[in-house]
Amino acid sequence: MEEEQDLRVKVFYDRQALILYFRDGPTLDYFYGKIREACKLTPNQPITVKWIDTEDDPVSFAVSIRDELIRT
Protein backbone atom coordinates (compact mmCIF):
# COMPACT_ATOMS: atom_id res chain seq x y z
CA MET A 1 0.00 0.00 0.00
CA GLU A 2 1.16 3.52 -0.80
CA GLU A 3 2.57 5.47 2.13
CA GLU A 4 3.08 9.19 2.33
CA GLN A 5 6.89 9.10 2.05
CA ASP A 6 6.80 6.90 -1.06
CA LEU A 7 7.76 8.35 -4.42
CA ARG A 8 5.00 7.42 -6.87
CA VAL A 9 6.08 7.11 -10.50
CA LYS A 10 3.70 6.58 -13.40
CA VAL A 11 5.47 4.93 -16.35
CA PHE A 12 4.01 4.90 -19.86
CA TYR A 13 5.67 2.39 -22.16
CA ASP A 14 4.49 0.30 -25.09
CA ARG A 15 0.87 1.46 -24.69
CA GLN A 16 0.80 0.47 -21.02
CA ALA A 17 0.74 2.53 -17.85
CA LEU A 18 2.59 1.19 -14.82
CA ILE A 19 2.75 2.63 -11.32
CA LEU A 20 6.00 2.15 -9.39
CA TYR A 21 6.63 3.13 -5.77
CA PHE A 22 10.05 4.00 -4.40
CA ARG A 23 10.92 4.44 -0.75
CA ASP A 24 13.65 6.47 0.93
CA GLY A 25 14.84 8.48 -2.09
CA PRO A 26 16.27 5.87 -4.46
CA THR A 27 19.63 6.31 -6.13
CA LEU A 28 19.52 7.21 -9.79
CA ASP A 29 20.96 3.82 -10.79
CA TYR A 30 18.32 1.98 -8.75
CA PHE A 31 15.56 4.22 -10.15
CA TYR A 32 16.55 3.59 -13.76
CA GLY A 33 17.09 -0.12 -13.03
CA LYS A 34 13.55 -0.53 -11.69
CA ILE A 35 12.09 1.29 -14.68
CA ARG A 36 14.08 -0.92 -17.05
CA GLU A 37 12.95 -4.01 -15.13
CA ALA A 38 9.27 -2.98 -15.20
CA CYS A 39 9.41 -2.25 -18.95
CA LYS A 40 11.55 -5.31 -19.70
CA LEU A 41 14.34 -3.22 -21.23
CA THR A 42 17.94 -4.31 -21.54
CA PRO A 43 20.48 -2.66 -19.21
CA ASN A 44 22.22 -0.86 -22.09
CA GLN A 45 19.07 0.41 -23.83
CA PRO A 46 18.85 4.22 -23.63
CA ILE A 47 15.78 5.60 -21.86
CA THR A 48 14.35 9.05 -21.24
CA VAL A 49 12.44 9.91 -18.08
CA LYS A 50 10.23 13.00 -17.85
CA TRP A 51 9.41 14.48 -14.51
CA ILE A 52 6.21 16.54 -14.41
CA ASP A 53 6.77 19.44 -12.04
CA THR A 54 4.19 21.20 -9.89
CA GLU A 55 3.24 23.45 -12.80
CA ASP A 56 2.63 20.41 -15.08
CA ASP A 57 5.74 21.16 -17.14
CA PRO A 58 7.85 18.15 -18.20
CA VAL A 59 11.49 18.00 -17.16
CA SER A 60 13.57 15.43 -19.10
CA PHE A 61 16.28 13.16 -17.76
CA ALA A 62 18.10 11.09 -20.38
CA VAL A 63 20.58 8.28 -19.97
CA SER A 64 22.65 7.36 -22.98
CA ILE A 65 24.95 4.43 -23.54
CA ARG A 66 27.83 6.92 -23.41
CA ASP A 67 26.77 8.01 -19.89
CA GLU A 68 26.63 4.37 -18.79
CA LEU A 69 30.10 3.71 -20.16
CA ILE A 70 31.54 6.76 -18.40
CA ARG A 71 30.06 5.65 -15.07
CA THR A 72 31.60 2.17 -15.20
Domain ranges of the chain: 7-71
Q: How much is the pLDDT for 64?
A: 60
CATH 3.10.20.90, domain 7-71, yes or no: yes
Q: How much is the pLDDT for 69?
A: 46
Q: Is the pLDDT of residue 8 over 50?
A: yes
11, 39 Cβ separation under 8 angstroms: yes
Report the number of secondary-structure helices (H) and strands (E) in the chain: 2, 4
| Predicted TM-score of the model (pTM) | 0.63
Radius of gyration from C-alpha coordinates of the chain: 13
Q: Is the pLDDT of residue 9 over 80?
A: yes
pLDDT digit string (tens) for 21-52?
Answer: 988 778 888 888 999 999 999 988 888 777 77
Q: What percent of the chain has pLDDT over 90?
A: 12
39, 49 Cβ separation under 8 angstroms: no
Between CA 41 and CA 7 the distance in angstroms is: 21
